[in-house]
Structure 1
Amino acid sequence: MPSPSEAFIALTKLHGTVLEPTIRAAFEALPPITDPAFLYGEWTGGSFENDHPGHATLKSMRWAGKNFRDVNDVDPIVVYDDQGKRAVGEAFGASSARLRKVELWGKLSVAMVYDKNPIIDQFRFVGEDLVAGAMDVKPDTGRVYYFYLKRNKNGEGEKL
């Protein structure tokens, strides 16, 4: 039987539709992130192919990932500009966020709270360079957008 991390990584490698209940089960099994500093740096974002509107929205924005500088200085939406460079995305007024510990489904973990929107992204540990994310948006529609982030090393920022 695969570990929770192995199960989540396997989902990131699937081609085609990955259903939300499948991702949620893998996400819930992952351990929390307890230290916000673990996230500091640039991360490249990856998305699961499914019919969640967040997937189509971020794809159309050319979502690149997130930048974490400290607990009160986060770029929640980074996109690729016309030259393929990472740039802070201004969609949804999402130019800033902060890190806090937030409970989701009974598990307390580091989360990113948007400053200008009712959105919270909770993160779970997959590996030293990979985290899982669950975007909880108000009003609650009963759906959660799941994604993952790969740590950029030495300035790399390749598209996932």
Structure 2
Amino acid sequence: MSIVALQKLESGATAAQAWELFDSLPAVRAEEIRGRWRGRELPTGHPMDGILQASGWYGKQFDDAESVHPLLFSIGGDPDSVFAVDPRRVPVGLADKVPASVVAKGRGLLGVLRLGLRTRRHRARLRNLEHRGVVTAAMVYDHLPIIDVFRRVDDTTLLGVMDRRGMPEPDFFVLTRESA
């Protein structure tokens, strides 16, 4: 049932509709989300809508509670070209101020910029935190004022919300577990 509700929202929703679904979903424990997850945006009219896709964002990788790659990118969406990016090297504070069309033009440089952006070091941690009255998995960035909070849609799908200090409304996204 939850996956059907999510699919209905993926063509476009309001933040209120996304919150309604998020709040209806069960918690997921940090230890249950290990592995690589492919990401996609849930458009809600947020200023960041389209930015992640336009930038080449691939998803996230949770190796263990202390070892998380919060930002994975790929060249042309190819799973074989996935690399972790140090979030401090990405102008996250400008993400909701730059149009997706401008970001998409810069995406062609991702192959060249990869050497300067990539990291082998984990840049986030997983914790079980209370959010909106529910204790659920959350990813805490090491060097940025951002927490991503997750709820379970089904065994292979999470609904996430990016909560960034100074951003009036959070940004919603979906993660799908890659097969092992």
Under a length normalisation based on structure 1, what TM-score does the superposition of the two structures give? 0.82
Structure with the largest fraction of strand: 1
Contact 1:101 1:111 in 2 (8 A): yes
Contact 1:99 1:113 in 2 (8 A): yes
**1:153 aligns to 2:179 (yes or no):** yes
% same residue: 29
In structure 2, the CA distance between the partners of 1:38 and 1:83, relative to structure 1 (3 Å rule), is closer
Deviating more after overlay: 52-61 vs 108-117:
52-61
CA drift at 1:69: 0.2
Alignment of 1:8-157 (within 5 A): 8-12=6-10, 14=11, 17-34=12-29, 36-81=30-75, 84=78, 85-93=81-89, 96-141=123-168, 143-154=169-180
Contact 1:33 1:124 in 2 (8 A): yes
SS in 2 for 1:69: strand
SS in 2 for 1:54: coil
Q: For 1:129 and 1:122, how far apart are their aligned partners in 2? A: 16
**Gapped regions of structure 2 (runs ≥ 5):** 91-121
Deviating more after overlay: 105-114 vs 73-82:
73-82
Q: For 1:10 and 1:56, how far apart are their aligned partners in 2? A: 18
Structure with the largest fraction of helix: 2
CA drift at 1:54: 2.7
Q: For 2:129 and 2:77, how far apart are their aligned partners in 1? A: 36
CA drift at 1:41: 0.5
Under a length normalisation based on structure 2, what TM-score does the superposition of the two structures give? 0.74
Q: For 2:164 and 2:77, how far apart are their aligned partners in 1? A: 31
Q: For 1:83 and 1:60, how far apart are their aligned partners in 2? A: 11
Q: Which has the larger radius of gyration?
A: 2
**Gapped regions of structure 1 (runs ≥ 5):** 155-160
Q: Root-mean-square deviation (CA), in Å?
A: 2.0
